[in-house]
């Protein structure tokens, strides 16, 4: 599922172009030392259009997605640090 568009903080120069991409779903993984946090966000217009049961289902699914992504990121990070540990 490709949901790419402009990079965070950037906007498309073709904002009037109906084929221009819009970021509707965003997942961010951040690292602060050994702590890894994962967050997700949804375009406000889409959120407003969802029914309460759809919002609940999406929240549950994205909770699982962020857990999987955060866990995997943490695993890869630990593997990378283990390989570089002890080298000067």
Query: pLDDT tens digit string along 11-63?
Result: 444 456 667 888 899 999 888 887 888 899 999 999 999 999 999 999 999 99
Average confidence (pLDDT) over 59-77: 91
Give the whole-angstrom CA distance, residue 49 versus residue 74. Answer: 34
67 token code pair: 């857990």
Q: What is the pTM of this model?
A: 0.61
Q: What's the pLDDT at 6?
A: 39
Check residue 21 and give its pLDDT. Answer: 84
- pLDDT for 77 equals 84
Rounded-to-integer distance, Cα 88 and Cα 11, Å: 42
How far separated are the first and last CA of the chain, in Å rounded? 41
């Amino acid at each position: 599922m490709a949901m790419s568009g402009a990079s965070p903080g950037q906007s498309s120069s073709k904002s009037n172009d109906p084929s221009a991409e819009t970021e509707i779903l965003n997942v961010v993984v951040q690292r602060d030392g050994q702590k890894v946090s994962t967050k997700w966000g949804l375009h406000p217009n889409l959120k407003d259009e969802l029914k309460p049961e759809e919002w609940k289902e999406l929240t549950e699914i994205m909770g699982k997605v962020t857990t999987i992504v955060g866990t995997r990121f943490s695993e890869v990070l630990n593997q990378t640090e283990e390989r570089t540990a002890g080298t000067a």
